[in-house]
Amino acid sequence: MEKKLRFNSATIHGGQSPDPAYGAVMPPIYQTSTYAQTTPGGHKGFEYSRTHNPTRQALEKSLASIENGKHGLAFASGLAAMDAVMKLLQPGDEVISTNDLYGGSYRLFTKIFEGFGLKFHFVGMNDVAKVEAAINENTKLIWVETPTNPMMNVVDIAAIAAITKKRDLLLAVDNTFASPYLQQPLNFGADIVMHSATKYLGGHSDVVLGSLVVNDDDLQERLSFIQNASGAVPGPMDSFLTLRGIKTLHVRMQRHCENGRAVAEYLAAHPKIEKVYWPGFHTHPNHEVAKKQMNDFGGMLSFIPVGADHKAAIKIIENLTMFTLAESLGGVESLAGHPASMTHASIPKEEREKSGVVDALIRLSVGIEDVNDLIKDLEQAIG
């Protein structure tokens, strides 16, 4: 029956039922590390909160439901969730990944897991032939991120899944930028969908949390073994906050998309703006793929002012008053960022510019405020 819930109901009811103790409609914050046993092993399914906690379990069921998957796992952060996926692998195994990956993911792969003997290949995934060419007998996993940050490239999940299925490789998709409101990677053949729930799922910039959702029982068993053995689990309060955030995901996303479109179109028509990166434009190189796999185009976009350099871009960002200059994205409030000196500062300038992250690029996470106020703010900041 769960499986049949439509998305806008799954966000509220997926895997949830009133608490058996007192009928609490929201799952209580079970702020406990351990559980009373009547005799060794005699317990109600909970022994120790690293392994299981009722609030976290409620969240994990919700996560599975909104991604149209069977099993959800919650972690202390998005990167902790990725860390668990990488621990499925053995030294000598190889991973193929998107070349314009989230900076923290790139750091985890290259600075941590390369040291444990994993090998990573970073390729432009819009060209499926390049992905196939990078596969060898040691390849075990393909890691996709779509849309990408901050260039808003869109990768065809079904096309990559056709390759992984044929070769018996694992396909993981970082679905943070889209959220399951816009796309459900498991439906396109992915094996693992990962989220930084810190962003759209939590949605209020008040929690750091990560998640994985899978369909395969064996994969679930291996990942939950790692989750318990490595221990990067979220606490009950953070699980509760994320669960509360998810309940309004569909209404927030609808407004993020509306506002994102209005801001993208405003900027594209502005004489002082040279380029706007947003997958909803017909001129976006991956627009057809975006249309095929996404329900709408989201509230993330990047732009370049005409003739701007590093200093001019910073000045516009500093002039903004309703858009807050900050890291992160996906909250109800609008944020602006400067990728070259913030999220992508650790990537050498030449490397950065190869993927389009020039010094004049500005990234916006368009929130759910009144869009007229957002546009007015941009108008005065651009001048």
Residues that bind ligand PLP (CB under 6 A): 77-79, 102, 104-105, 145, 149, 174, 176-177, 196, 198-199, 208, 210
- In whole angstroms, the minimum distance from the beta carbon of 149 to ligand PLP comes to 6
Report d(CA 218, CA 226) in Å as an integer.
13
DSSP assigned state of 165: H
Reference 339, options 312, 361, 365; nearest CA is 361
Provide the minimum distance between the beta carbon of 176 and ligand PLP in the complex, in angstroms, as a whole number. Answer: 4
Output Rg (C-alpha) for the chain, integer angstroms.
21
Q: Catalytic residue among 30, 83, 102, 191, which? A: 102
**For ligand PLP, the closer CB: 198 or 293:** 198
Q: Establish whether 174 is a catalytic residue.
A: yes
Q: Which residue is nearest to ligand PLP (CB)?
A: 78
Whole-number Å distance between alpha carbons of 21 and 176: 34
Q: Which residue in this structure is represented by tokens 């318990």? A: 228
In whole angstroms, what is the distance from residue 359 CA to residue 382 CA?
Answer: 16
Of 329 and 371, which CB lies nearer to ligand PLP in the complex structure? 329
183 touches 195 (CB < 8 A): no
> Minimal CA–CA distance to 176: which of 297, 330, 51?
330
Could you tell me whether strands 324-325 and 139-145 are parallel, antiparallel, or unpaired per DSSP bridges? unpaired
What is the helix (H) or strand (E) element at residue 243, kind and residue range? helix 236-246
Residue tagged active-site, from 56, 83, 106, 199? 199
| Residue whose C-alpha is closest to residue 285's, from 115, 125, 101 | 125
Q: How far is the CB of 177 from ligand PLP (least distance, A)?
A: 6
The residue among 104 and 189 lying less far from ligand PLP, judged by its C-beta, is 104
Cβ neighbours of 106 (radius 10 Å): 19
Residue 232 C-beta: closest distance to ligand PLP, Å: 10
Report, in Å, the least distance between residue 196 CB and ligand PLP: 3
Catalytic residue among 50, 119, 244, 291: 50
CA 241 from chain centre, in angstroms, equals: 17
Kindly state the tokens that stand for 271. Answer: 């004489």
Minimum CB distance to ligand PLP smaller for 105 or for 286: 105
Taking the C-alpha atoms of residue 73 and residue 57, their distance in angstroms, rounded to an integer, is 8
The residue assigned the tokens 């732009």 is: 303
Which is closer to ligand PLP, CB of 72 or CB of 210?
A: 210
CB of 78 to ligand PLP, least distance (A): 2
Selected catalytic residue, list 100, 174, 191, 238: 174
Point out the residues that are catalytic: 50, 102, 174, 199
